[in-house]
């Protein structure tokens, strides 16, 4: 599959993803490369996104600090999900009001220090493994965790934390 890179090198440059990006118009790999800047360097998702391959925010220290905003959108990922956090400044996946769905058919890995809103598991492969990068790779869910299919693989140092205390915050979905 192809790779879409949204990048800026030194100036504040917000970018917007708009259009039909689901179903047969899905994207494969998506890389967000933005340097740290308190005044911007955000990629805004204006429509739902099917991301068949890997999703990366900050591929190296040079591009740490950028932000991907999935505000009120559905983002489906079929590959690895990586948000750079090896050193400050950290890259950010802004998940306010959004739903992140893992729908891969192969092994998926998850690396992210930030919180997610709603998470849906529709994984048909061996599972989604929470990262083992030497840092805490907990999956923090502030909304709902829906377990339709597949498994989340944890370890002694990584876990899923659902911060929503409602009885329906973790559900089996449409099994």
SS (H, E, C) 51-110: ECCCEEECCCHHHCECEEECCCCEEEECCCEEECCCCCCCCEEECCCCEEEECCCCCEEE
Helices (H) and strands (E) in the chain, counts: 0, 20
The per-residue pLDDT for 36 is 74
Distance CA 44, CA 103 (A): 22
Could you tell me the two tokens for 120? Answer: 């849906």
147 burial via Cβ count (<10 Å: 0-12, 13-18, 19+): middle
Quote the pLDDT of residue 65. Answer: 73
Question: What pLDDT score was predicted for residue 2?
Answer: 93
- Those residues with Cβ within 8 angstroms of residue 99's Cβ, 6 or more apart along the chain or in another chain: 73, 74, 75, 117, 118, 119, 120, 143
- DSSP lists the bridge partners of residue 27 as 51
**Per-residue confidence (pLDDT) for residue 86, from 0 to 100:** 64
DSSP state of 122: E
**The total number of residues written for the chain in this structure:** 175
pLDDT score for 85: 75
Task: Say if CB 161 and CB 140 are below 8 A apart.
Answer: yes
pLDDT by residue, tens only, the chain of 175 residues: 899 999 987 778 899 999 999 999 999 999 998 887 666 689 999 999 999 999 999 887 777 778 899 999 999 999 999 998 766 677 889 999 999 999 999 999 999 888 999 999 999 999 999 985 555 668 999 999 999 999 999 988 788 999 999 999 999 876 5
Identify the pLDDT of residue 76.
98
Please state the φ and ψ torsions of residue 58, each to the nearest 5 degrees.
85, 90
Task: Please tell me the chain's helix, strand, coil percentages from 3-state DSSP, rounded to the nearest 5.
Answer: 5, 40, 55
Residue 19, Ramachandran bin (φ over 0: left; ψ between -120 and 50: alpha; else beta)? left
């Amino acid at each position: 599959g192809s790779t879409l890179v949204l990048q800026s090198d030194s100036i504040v440059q917000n970018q917007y993803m708009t259009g039909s990006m689901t179903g047969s118009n899905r994207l494969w790999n998506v890389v967000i490369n933005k340097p740290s800047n308190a005044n911007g360097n955000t990629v805004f998702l204006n429509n739902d996104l099917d991301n068949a391959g890997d999703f990366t925010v900050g591929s190296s220290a040079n591009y740490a600090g950028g932000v991907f905003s999935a505000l009120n959108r559905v983002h489906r990922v079929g590959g690895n999900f990586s948000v750079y956090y090896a050193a400050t400044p950290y890259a950010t996946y802004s998940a306010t009001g959004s739903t992140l769905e893992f729908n891969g058919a192969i092994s998926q890995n998850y690396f992210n220090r930030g919180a997610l809103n709603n998470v849906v598991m529709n994984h048909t492969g061996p599972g989604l493994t929470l990262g083992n990068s030497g840092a805490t790779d907990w999956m923090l869910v502030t909304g709902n965790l829906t377990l339709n299919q597949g498994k989340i693989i944890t370890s002694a140092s990584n876990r899923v934390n659902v911060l929503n205390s409602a009885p329906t915050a973790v559900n089996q979905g449409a099994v």
